[in-house]
Each structure stands twice: as structure tokens, then as C-alpha cells.
Amino acid sequence: MDLEKVYAYIDANRDRYIQLLQTFVRQPSVASMHPDNEDMKELVKRTVREYTGAEPEELKTNGNAVLYTELKGKRTDRILGIYNHYDVVSPGPEEQWRFPPYSGTIDGGVLYSRGAADNKDALACRLCALDAIRSAGEELPLNVKLVYDGEEEVGSPSLSEIVAANPAKFYADGYMWEGGDRLPDNGPLIIALGAKGMLSVELFVQGGKIDVHSANAPLVPNPAWRLVWALSTIKNERDEILIDGFYDGITPVTQAEIDSLRLGRFDPEDVKRLSGIETYLGGVEGEEALKKLLFSPTANIDGMVSGHTGKEHKSLVPARASVKMDFRLVPGQDPENIAQLLRRHLDKHGFTDIEMVVESFCAPFRSGVDSSYVKALSAAAADVYGAEPAIQITLAGTSPMEKICKYDQIPVAMIGPGNTESAVHSPNEHIFIEDYILGIKMAAAVIDRFAREE
């Protein structure tokens, strides 16, 4: 392709492309809210038709549908898969936002909104790149498959079944994945080649039929205490997970993977700055902190609910308590097996009364750094951003890469227009407008470069 011609079209149409992102983020689409997701799904379908000229196919699930579109290009033996999701997490407390969370407000060159960086920015970027290629009169140089997931933020529970039923649809020679960032202060683009797995569960304890006055505490069992005692058996104060068999089978970290930390240009202090803490768990620093962040599994409490939490005091024994947990998993750990181990652990310690609900799970996945796809991405990133990219072998977080890529070990890379401080899943989620425009150009450059790679 004539990339300069495509870039010129992107620059000339930047206002229209910014308006598309604003339209996307102004449409609520929390994964569990089906009416909102239906509206977002239809918006994405209309945009695919307008920006690519193709008709998206709707793959039905028990939840939110997966959208699939295949675009034919000049090189039919090379397929680029593009995965994004159209759902978001809930905005949380609105009073903590600078602007309303679905306003798409632009202030000082920054767009604030839920979904601005996870993941409606990348979703829009890639459609804009395809529109620019087409509108600039350039032929698509390779086949492209567009996959839009409506349940990523709840673990993509339907995706495995859809992929298993339609394997040919999801095959590609490489996947441009959702999300993605660049390093702070206009730093280089991050190319992430994998992610941890995750098991999400909710635990419930039922006491009496109703909350009762706390004067009855000597006689009435308190489910909140019951839950606290159960949680204390799962992890100790040294951050060691105590579930029998939890660490069994973990694939040892190789020296090559440790060496890859330098390619990622990680700053070990990033999490301190973002969270406002002074020291890490266990006092780890430097490379040891990075190794723990990227290569260690976790057992995390997301939130607990029980009884009265209002401003005024109310003395009572609650009737019910619950906790949401997530377990981030590394290669060698199977989330379904970990769920069984957790259930067995609770029963072994006398907590057979605790109800456990598995909300979602996803296995870990990693790609290699030496594929032709990663070479194409690196070359494109160097051209667009003017610097060699930061290549990260895995993320500390989770994405459902393995649900699509595990069958053929398809190379996958997460790239996108966010930045490492975009406040993803937090109040004031945001994206820099200039990063968004660069993200459109990057998507076009990847399409061009990957088509030319042998």
C-alpha cells in the first residue's frame, strides 16, 4: 500500500474519527446489562458496514453475541485476525469522575470516558484504519478477520464454545489483540505477547434468615466472621497461597523469559506511582518485583459485602456475607482444576457450608518473540512511533487469547493507543487524542507490514 497516502487521509479525517470514538464511549455497554450491549452491538455492526463495506455475521451465544466479519485482500494466503470487545466494566462511583463517565468529554487533548482505553479506543482505531485504506483508494493487501466479543469483561464465557463450533472462522496467521498501551511521556509502543489466566469466583455464607440486633451476637452465628476465617486459610501474611496443589505443575520460568524483561522496558516503580503505595509486598524491588508481577500466580480479594455499611452506626449480626475473588494464573495452571482445588480446600478446613460460584475462567497464553508477525509489528511500531517498541512476553493481567489462539498456537500481540496510566477500570479512564490518531496509523502500518512479511 501507499502508506503515506493512507496517513494523509487519516489526518484529513481526524475529526470524524474522533467523533466515532466519542459515539462508541457514549453508548453504555456493561457486559451484564444486555439491553445496553444490544445497542452497542448494533452500533458496531452499523460502523463495520459503513467503514468496510462488509456485512458482519452475528454468532449467537447465551449472553452477548460475537460479531464476525471477513474481508478479502490481495494476498489470500495471509490472514490477519483483529480481536476487540465492545463491552466495558461499570463506571463505579460517578462522583469520583472529573466528567460524567459516558460523556466522552475532551479536555486538554485528553478524552475521558468509560471504555476510552478498554477497549473502544482500539476497536475504533482498527475500523478507522480499514476505512482509511479503502477510502484512500488502496487495496487491502491481505485477508482480515474482525472478531468482536461482547463478554470479555466477564471472562468471555461463550467464546470457547463459539470458536470450537467455528474453527475455520477464527484461524489466522496472527492476531492484533484488544487493549494495549505505550509507555509514559510519549514513550515507545508496548507489544504484549501473552497474558496470565484467571479464575473468578464468588463465595457466599448464609447465617440466619434475617439480620438481627447485635445483642444476639453471643448466640447467633455471624456469616461475616465465618467468611473471614475461611479467607484466612487461603493465603498467609507472607503472601503464600495455601491451597493444596495450587503451585503443582507450574511451568518454570526460563532464563530467556527473565531476559525478556529488558525488552519490555518495565519500570519497577510504575505500580507504586499508580497506586500511591511506598513498598511492595514482601519488600521486593527491581527485577525481583517484575518477576513476581509477571510470573507469579495470585489469590486476590476483589471486594466483600455483608451487613450494614452506611454512614450511621447500626448494630446487627448480618444474615449473609459474600466475597468476590480472582486468581491470576501462570502457564501450567488450569483454571478449572484450580476451582476444584479451592472447593476441596474449603471443605477440608470445615467450610462445607460456604457456597462457591465460578463466575468466569480463562487459561494463560504466551506467544514467541521470533515470529514473522512480531517482526512486522516491530517494524511498523518503529516507523509510526519513531522508536523501537517495548516487547513484553506477558501481561500481569488477563485476556482471552488462549480461547482463540491455543488450537494452532497463533501468534498474538496486544497493541493499542492507550497509555500505562490510562486508569483502565478506574474513575477518569482516559486516552490522549494524539495517541488515538497514532493508533489508527499503527493499525494501517501493521496491515501493510504483515502482508509483506514472508
Per-residue pLDDT of 256-311, as tens digits, reads 889 888 888 888 888 898 889 999 999 999 999 999 999 999 999 999 999 998 88
pLDDT of residue 340: 98
Cα gap 52→402, rounded to integer Å? 27
How confident is the model over 28-49, as a mean pLDDT? 92
pLDDT at 129 over 90: yes
Q: Which three cell numbers stand for residue 85?
A: 470487545
Please state whether beta strands 194-206 and 320-329 pair in parallel, antiparallel, or not at all (unpaired): antiparallel
- The residues, any chain, with a CB within 8 Å of residue 168's CB and separated by 6 or more, are none
Neighbours of 296 (CB within 10 A): 17
Cα gap 58→322, rounded to integer Å? 36
User: 184: closest CA among 248, 274, 250, 313?
Assistant: 274
pLDDT of residue 31: 86
Q: Do residues 62 and 140 touch, judged by C-beta distance below 8 A?
A: no
Which helix H or strand E contains 9, and what residues bound it? Answer: helix 3-12
Query: What's the longest Cα–Cα distance across the chain?
Result: 78
pLDDT of residue 407: 85
Q: What is the pLDDT of residues 428-439, one digit of tens each?
A: 999 999 999 999
pLDDT of residue 15: 98
Neighbours of 149 (CB within 10 A): 26
How confident is the model over 245-258, as a mean pLDDT? 94
Q: What is the DSSP letter of 235?
A: B
Cα gap 218→270, rounded to integer Å? 47
How confident is the model over 199-218, as a mean pLDDT? 97
As to burial, measured by CB atoms within 10 angstroms (0-12 exposed, 13-18 middle, 19+ buried), residue 278 is exposed
User: 64: closest CA among 101, 30, 26?
Assistant: 30
If you average pLDDT over every residue of the chain, what do you get?
Answer: 95
pLDDT of residue 151: 94
Q: What is the pLDDT of residues 310-345, one digit of tens each?
A: 889 999 999 999 999 999 999 999 999 999 999 999
Q: Do residues 52 and 130 touch, judged by C-beta distance below 8 A?
A: yes
pLDDT of residue 446: 98
User: 355: closest CA among 205, 228, 234, 222?
Assistant: 205
